[in-house]
Structures are given as structure tokens and as C-alpha cells.
């Protein structure tokens, strides 16, 4: 498994374990720390109260930060201690005492994009070539059977797809008959042409007007990235009109700020969350020339330079896929309970998926296992960084297919998909960097969805 194999890497390469338990051994002079304090999300009617509360919060944060810094300065893992300390000290914060608050932690980005270079030697990443099912020709299927965006993958196809070899697999964008080829996610030819040129992509989506438009923080984004990175926001027509009505009208080149607005017509699924998984998982298909991509949910504002993000989470970590762990839950069993408790999805559909996974080897997360293949079995998937390598693309397709087959709750299928992929390909490690949620918080700012406010 990648996790154990990583320890065999040359010492200048940091494996997953190194990323998870990051020590402060890097030369500080090249690095800078980025910390952001959380602001209040809501505006109270009484200004005075807000001011007083703000002061109290700032004081608490300063207290936690400096207090911990003084007490634990010089220990091996200041960051770990700080994170735990923050979690334990939330009771000290005023307001909403029952809701835990989580804080960002330092991310040691380089201080400029000027000197970053893509590592030349990436031969350790598995090489094989993937083809994608473009159109389904199945003589045994009745012609009246409806074409689906995800295709009609049999369980046998599914099993085979988990093997990291030259093969053609289902990965969305399966077209229908000659007469009605579209199965959804239709894009303008002009947008497609633009997307074909992208080498590095930051993307997000708003379907069903779920969120406001959050522009990336322009002042932290380098001129290099502004020129060379595509920032693409996928929206459906409804969201497009809503944004326009609110004064967010794209300029002549189709941009609102850094975001290039791309309207998606004919959504492939009734479930808008499922539709959102298309740009989330399939950026290698939407941007066929791209080599790197960063995904962020529309509830997040990007607060760091994309090239520095790629350097930190992929190049420096020697990984091909980076995703953060969940801030509170590590076990899929807990995640299933939580999904039911909050009524996130049809319970019997969740059970169906979960029993299927258990019967195919999914076990509980065991933190006492020193060979645990992942720091957590539950991801916080709102922010993903990836290199479009063969293994990374395969994983993205497999994860998408799980979401397509079962529920759109992708936290439920992440560990299963990863573990199965590694189990079936013991000689082809998948270099996954599961980083800490507090790092995600440092580079993205969280806002409420529209419906929450
Ligand atoms: C897989 O495909 C590549 C070209 O895409 C080829 O060079 C390689 O030999 C193939 N491997 C096998 C095992 O067929
Ligand atoms: C195919 O569809 C036709 C009409 O919809 C139906 O009469 C026929 O039984 C179907 N055949 C199969 C093999 O399902
Ligand atoms: C819930 O899921 C089950 C199994 O997938 C399905 O049979 C049922 O119709 C679903 N119920 C609703 C209300 O969607």
C-alpha cells in the first residue's frame, strides 16, 4: 500500500506519514505562515453586541494561540498540539457553546511562485493508459432503455475497472444513441474550446442556486497564476440568472473576477448534489489537457495561490492526490450514523451501499493499528488537489462511479474505493496525501450556504 511504501522513499521525499505528522524541520527562512482567524458569519441587529463578541473572540483566539505557543514552543509537533488544544478549548469561546469550533493551522507555503519547479522525476507514479467508455453499445439492452450519463456499468465491469492496467472504463460522459446523443452536462462549444487549453485548473460549481459566488482572494493570487491557471465556475441556468439578477454579470470574456463562468445545460441527474460530483470528480475529463486541478466547493473562498497549493500538497509531499480528513469523524460507521441523524439521504439507500461495502471487505477504522492505510476513513471532500496521473484519474473515475451507483454522499464511498483500489493493485501504490482539516481551513474561507442563512 502506498502508505507503507512511502516510508521507503528517499529521505528528501516526504511520504504520507510525513505529511500527516508534519514536524517543524523545514528550513523556516523559505517559508511563511498563513493564519486566518474566523470572523462571524452572521450580522446581528445590535451592533454593539457584535463588537463586544468580536473582541471576546479575538481575545480568545489570541489567548489560545499565544498560550499554546509559549507552553509548547520547541516540541516536535507544535501544530498537532495546537490543533488538539483548539479543539479542547472551544468551551472557552463565547456564543453557541454547544457547537464546536475548529481553527486553521499553519500551512508552510513557499513565499513566492517564482522559484517553484515541477519535479522532473515522477517515474514512481504508476504508468498505464486509461480509455473511457464514450458510447454504450449493448445488444442485450432494449433500445428503449434510457441512456445514462454514467452509463450502465455491470458489477463485472465495476470489478474489472478497479485494476490499474491499460483498459477502457466508465467515467461519466457516456453518450446515448445517434438520435439523442446527449445524456447531459452540455457545454457551449466556445467554453469547451477554452477548457481544452487549460493546463492547471481551479474549479467549482453552483447548481440550484445553493450558494453565493465567492471570488478567490485576488491579492494572494500571483500574477503567474492569474495568467496561467484557469478558474472555472460551473453553474446551471437557474444559478446563472440568479447571480445576474444580483448584479454578478460576466464581462465580455465571460468572467466575474477571476472566475470564468461556464453554464451547464441539461443537467445529467435530478439530484443536484449528484450533478455537482461531475465537475468535482471528473476534472480530468472536463479539462482533457490539464495536468493539475484544484476543486473547491462553492461554500469556500480560495485564499491562497493555486501554484503554491500544488507545490505544497503534491510536489513537496510526493503525492498525486490530496484531500483533507474530516474534522471530527474517522470511521465510516460514524459517518453513516451522522448522515441518518441529519437525514442527509434516503436511509435505505445508505444501508444498501454500506452493507455492500461491508460484504466487500470494508472494516471499521482502527486507530490503534500502526499499519492503518489512511489517517482517516472519512474525508472532508470540499477541497481536493490532484495531479492528473493515471492512478489519480482512475481513482477519480472509480469514486465517481460509486457515487453514481449508490448515494451522492461521497464521504461514504471514499475509504472503500481507496482501500479496494490498493488491495487489487498491491504493486501499484496510489500516492494519496490525506492532510489535516485545519490546513484546509487555512487556505479556504468557509461561508454558509444560501439555504442556511
Ligand atoms: C499500455 O499502453 C501503453 C501505451 O499507452 C503501452 O506503451 C504499454 O505497453 C501498454 N501496456 C500493456 C501491459 O499493454
Ligand atoms: C423491448 O421493448 C419492447 C417494447 O418496449 C418490449 O415489448 C420487449 O419485450 C422488450 N424486450 C426485452 C428483451 O426486454
Ligand atoms: C429509498 O431507497 C430505496 C432503496 O434504494 C428505494 O427503494 C426507495 O424508493 C427510496 N425511497 C425514496 C423516498 O426515495
Separation of CA 311 and ligand 3 centre (Å): 44
**CB-CB neighbours of 27 under 10 Å:** 7
Distance CA 170, CA 181 (A): 16
Backbone φ/ψ region at 148: left (φ over 0), alpha (ψ -120 to 50), beta: beta
Residue 83 lies in a domain: no
Query: 373-388: per-residue pLDDT in tens?
Result: 898 999 999 999 999 9
The ligand minimizing its distance to the Cα of 128 is 1
- Write down the pLDDT at residue 178: 76
Question: What cell does 4 get?
Answer: 507503507
Strand, helix or coil for residue 324? strand
Separation of CA 282 and ligand 2 centre (Å): 34
The ligand minimizing its distance to the Cα of 343 is 3
Separation of CA 142 and ligand 2 centre (Å): 6
Residues with CB under 6 A from ligand 2: 142, 144
Residue 385 lies in a domain: yes
Separation of CA 154 and ligand 3 centre (Å): 20
- Write down the pLDDT at residue 154: 92
- Write down the pLDDT at residue 5: 32
Query: 86-121: per-residue pLDDT in tens?
Result: 334 434 444 545 567 788 888 999 989 998 989 987
Residues with CB under 6 A from ligand 1: 128-129, 166
Distance CA 391, CA 130 (A): 9
User: Kind and range of the H or E element at 283?
Assistant: helix 283-286
Residue 92 lies in a domain: no
Residue 246 lies in a domain: yes
Distance CA 339, CA 350 (A): 8
- Write down the pLDDT at residue 39: 40
Identify each DSSP E strand in 50-110 by its residue range: 109-110
Separation of CA 333 and ligand 2 centre (Å): 42
Task: Answer yes or no: are the C-beta atoms of 216 and 302 closer than 8 Å.
Answer: yes
Question: What cell does 70 get?
Answer: 509559549
Distance CA 262, CA 231 (A): 10
235, β-bridge pairs:
206, 263
Distance CA 367, CA 376 (A): 9
The ligand minimizing its distance to the Cα of 354 is 3
Residue 414 lies in a domain: yes
3-state helix, strand, coil in the chain (%, to 5): 40, 15, 45
Distance CA 268, CA 261 (A): 19
Number of independent structural domains in the chain: 1
- Write down the pLDDT at residue 82: 37
Structural domain boundaries, residue 281: 130-452
Q: pTM for this one?
A: 0.78
Residue 322, phi then psi, degrees to nearest 5: -130, 130
Residue 300 lies in a domain: yes
- Which residues, given as ranges, of the chain have pLDDT below 50? 1-44, 62, 66-94, 96, 452-453
Residue 71 lies in a domain: no
Distance CA 426, CA 99 (A): 42
Residue 292, phi then psi, degrees to nearest 5: -140, 150
Residue 442 lies in a domain: yes
Q: Which residues contact 161 (CB under 8 A, 6 or more apart)?
A: 153, 167, 169, 170, 394, 397, 398, 401
Tell me the chain's radius of gyration from C-alpha atoms. 22
The response to whether residue 348 sits with its C-beta less than 6 Å from ligand 3 reads yes
Nearest to 225 by CA among 294, 172, 158: 294
User: Kind and range of the H or E element at 419?
Assistant: helix 414-424
Task: Answer yes or no: are the C-beta atoms of 104 and 216 closer than 8 Å.
Answer: no
Question: What cell does 171 get?
Answer: 467515467
Amino acid at each position: 500500500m502506498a502508505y507503507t511504501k512511502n516510508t521507503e522513499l528517499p529521505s528528501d521525499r516526504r511520504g504520507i506519514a510525513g505529511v500527516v505528522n508534519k514536524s517543524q524541520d523545514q528550513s523556516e527562512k523559505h517559508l511563511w505562515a498563513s493564519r486566518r482567524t474566523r470572523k462571524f458569519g452572521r450580522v446581528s441587529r445590535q451592533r454593539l453586541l457584535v463588537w463586544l463578541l468580536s473582541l471576546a473572540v479575538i481575545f480568545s483566539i489570541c489567548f489560545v494561540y499565544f498560550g499554546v505557543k509559549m507552553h509548547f514552543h520547541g516540541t516536535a509537533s507544535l501544530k498537532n498540539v495546537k490543533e488538539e488544544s483548539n479543539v479542547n478549548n472551544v468551551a472557552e469561546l463565547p456564543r453557541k457553546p454547544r457547537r464546536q469550533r475548529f481553527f486553521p493551522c499553519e500551512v508552510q507555503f513557499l513565499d513566492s511562485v517564482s522559484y517553484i519547479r515541477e519535479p522532473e522525476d515522477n517515474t514512481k507514479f504508476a504508468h498505464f493508459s486509461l480509455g473511457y467508455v464514450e458510447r454504450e453499445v449493448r445488444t442485450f439492452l432494449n433500445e428503449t432503455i434510457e441512456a445514462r450519463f454514467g452509463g450502465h456499468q455491470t458489477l463485472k465491469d465495476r470489478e474489472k475497472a478497479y485494476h490499474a492496467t491499460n483498459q477502457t472504463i466508465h467515467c461519466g460522459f457516456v453518450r446515448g444513441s445517434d438520435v439523442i446523443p446527449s445524456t447531459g452536462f452540455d457545454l457551449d462549444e466556445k467554453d469547451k474550446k477554452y477548457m481544452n487549453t487549460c493546463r492547471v485548473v481551479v474549479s467549482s460549481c453552483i447548481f440550484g442556486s445553493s450558494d453565493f459566488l465567492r471570488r478567490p482572494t485576488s491579492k494572494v493570487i500571483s500574477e503567474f497564476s492569474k495568467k496561467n491557471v484557469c478558474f472555472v465556475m460551473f453553474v446551471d441556468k437557474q444559478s446563472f440568472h440568479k447571480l445576474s439578477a444580483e448584479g454578478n454579470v460576466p464581462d465580455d470574456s465571460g468572467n466575474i473576477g477571476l472566475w470564468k463562468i461556464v453554464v451547464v445545460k441539461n443537467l445529467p441527474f435530478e439530484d443536484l448534489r449528484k450533478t455537482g460530483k461531475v465537475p468535482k470528480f471528473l476534472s480530468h475529463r472536463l479539462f482533457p489537457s490539464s495536468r493539475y486541478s484544484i476543486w473547491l466547493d462553492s461554500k469556500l473562498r480560495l485564499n491562497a495561490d493555486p501554484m503554491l497549493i500544488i507545490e505544497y500538497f503534491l510536489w513537496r509531499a510526493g503525492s498525486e492526490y490530496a484531500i483533507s480528513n474530516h474534522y471530527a469523524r474517522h470511521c465510516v460507521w460514524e459517518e453513516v450514523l451522522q448522515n441518518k441523524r441529519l437525514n442527509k439521504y434516503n436511509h435505505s439507500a445508505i444501508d444498501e451501499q454500506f452493507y455492500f461495502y461491508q460484504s466487500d471487505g470494508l472494516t471499521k477504522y482502527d486507530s490503534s493499528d500502526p499499519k492503518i492505510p489512511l489517517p482517516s476513513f472519512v474525508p472532508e471532500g470540499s477541497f481536493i488537489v490532484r495531479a492528473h496521473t493515471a492512478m489519480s484519474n482512475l481513482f477519480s473515475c472509480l469514486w465517481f462511479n460509486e457515487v453514481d451507483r449508490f448515494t451522492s454522499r461521497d464521504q461514504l464511498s471514499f475509504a472503500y474505493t481507496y482501500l479496494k483500489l490498493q488491495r487489487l493493485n498491491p504493486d501499484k501504490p496510489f500516492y494519496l496525501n490525506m492532510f489535516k482539516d485545519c490546513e484546509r481551513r487555512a487556505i479556504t474561507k468557509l461561508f454558509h450556504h444560501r439555504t442556511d442563512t
